[in-house]
Structure 1
Amino acid sequence: MYFQHSSDIWRDFPDLAAGALLADGITGDVDPAIAGYHATAKSRLTGGPESELPEIRAWRRTFSAMGLKPTQYRCAAESLLRRFKKDGTLPRIHPLIDVCNAISLAFAIPVAVFDLSQVTGFLEVRRASGEEDYLTFGGEIEHPEAHEVVFADGAGRAHARRWSNRQSGLSAVRDTTNSVLIVAEALHATAADDVRALMSTLADDLKTLWSTTPKTALLTPHSPRLEW
């Protein structure tokens, strides 16, 4: 199995910085870690609206370039920041998701998490053909629009639409999840350094919280694939 971005994604978005992490044995209490990341997010949001953060501005430009209205289709990090700013917290979903959402808040970088037991063969960020199957959280099957950026596997299933703006219900983390693929992506000026720091921070948290040793990779056009 492997994870990668297609060559045309690297060509069309040369500012992309991406990191991927593999981990298993996911359980446990994560409250102390979450509190620290929430404090960082609150501090950053005191300086102005989330839409002015350089990480979010870069994703807005990218969504506009893809023909998506940035205020209609927001990257996952912006959506989390907006909800966190309004409510002062985020709903608890699953220990791993709670940690990843908190880190996404602190770094203002989208973090996607996939249950590998539901992924067939490989997972690739690529343009959609329009024939992929996408399972909504409501149980309905959709088909992405042609040329839309999706996370697709070897069985032709889309596990996220609009460049991780909407994750599939099929590979969402649940209580039975053991092995996961975590992906962080950014396009702002310091994206490479920030994604590297995010992945290192996340790997350290997983080692501490779950006594697991994650496998990580920083992906580039010259080294675009994480294999396992």
Structure 2
Amino acid sequence: MYSVITMSPKVEQDLQGVKVFGVHLELTPKKLESLVDYQSEWDEIHATWRGKSKAEVAAEAMMAAYQQFYQHIGINPKKYPPSVQNLIQRFFIKEELPRLPLIHPIVDAVNVAALQHLIPLGIFDAECVTGDIHLTITEGGEAFQGLGEAEPEALPEGLLVLSDEVKTLSRFCYRDSEVQKVTDSTHEVWLLGCQVPGVTEEQVIESLNAALSLLKRGYETHLITVD
């Protein structure tokens, strides 16, 4: 069911042992009397990490694997921790679980699965995509409007990005773009999971399956076949 996202020859050469698995889905909201709630899952995640130090979180084997990946692609993991590590350190090690920055039920479901399995997952609006998606390295000058930014900026050379046939969709594993953010108008999504050295394909697939299961609480999901 999951496809492996294409990499440019340079990315494939530079990122040996890295694979990105994805699935293209159509989501149809179910008619529910109340909004889907993930509070019990947040509480369970909090119970796992409550009272731990940031150093203890960072030292976990899964966290360390993605830290090494960040270093390899030129991101300082101490300044910019991988997404799962960052969420745990910001919210889930505290004695009392603070108010979480809930984004959208689709994104929240994926964040729960990522935190449960310690695998960074991503989800974005697929209707913004022109043609195929792939991982590539910037040549310099590509326009990119980061999430929350008012205007696009020109990216420097040498960054790992997820792109379609005409535009940059994200700085991969680091920052999403305005163009592909999930909104209430989102009907199709790409769900992605990244395997790095030290993490097995089975672990990534298990986390993606968990995200799908959580999405199905609020949405009918239909697989869109990639030609």
TM-score range normalised by the length of the shorter chain: 0.7 to 0.9
Amino acid at match of 2:25: A
Q: Is the Cα–Cα contact under 8 Å of residues 128 and 180 in structure 2 kept in the other structure? A: yes
Is the alpha carbon distance of 1:38 and 1:126 closer, same or farther for their aligned partners in structure 2, counting shifts above 3 Å?
A: farther
Amino acid at match of 2:29: T
Q: Is the Cα–Cα contact under 8 Å of residues 121 and 191 in structure 2 kept in the other structure? A: yes
Residue aligning to 1:39: 44
Q: Is the Cα–Cα contact under 8 Å of residues 150 and 160 in structure 1 kept in the other structure? A: yes
Displaced runs of 4 or more, over 6 A: none
User: Within 2, Cα distance between the matches of 1:189 and 1:164?
Assistant: 17
Is the alpha carbon distance of 1:190 and 1:38 closer, same or farther for their aligned partners in structure 2, counting shifts above 3 Å?
A: farther
User: Within 2, Cα distance between the matches of 1:211 and 1:37?
Assistant: 23
Amino acid at match of 1:6: S
The alignment partner of 2:179 has SS state of coil
**1:48-197 → structure 2 map (5 Å cutoff):** 49-85=56-92, 86=94, 88=97, 90-136=100-146, 137-155=148-166, 157-161=167-171, 163-197=172-206
The alignment partner of 2:194 has SS state of strand
After TM superposition, the score normalised by the length of structure 2 is 0.82
RMSD: 2.5
What is the percent sequence identity of the aligned residues? Answer: 21
User: Within 2, Cα distance between the matches of 1:108 and 1:214?
Assistant: 25
Deviation at 1:91, TM superposition (A): 1.4
The alignment partner of 2:180 has SS state of coil
* Between 122-131 and 44-53, the greater mean CA deviation after superposition: 44-53
After TM superposition, the score normalised by the length of structure 1 is 0.82
For these two proteins, the number of residue pairs brought into alignment is 214
Residue aligning to 1:212: 221
Residue aligning to 1:221: none
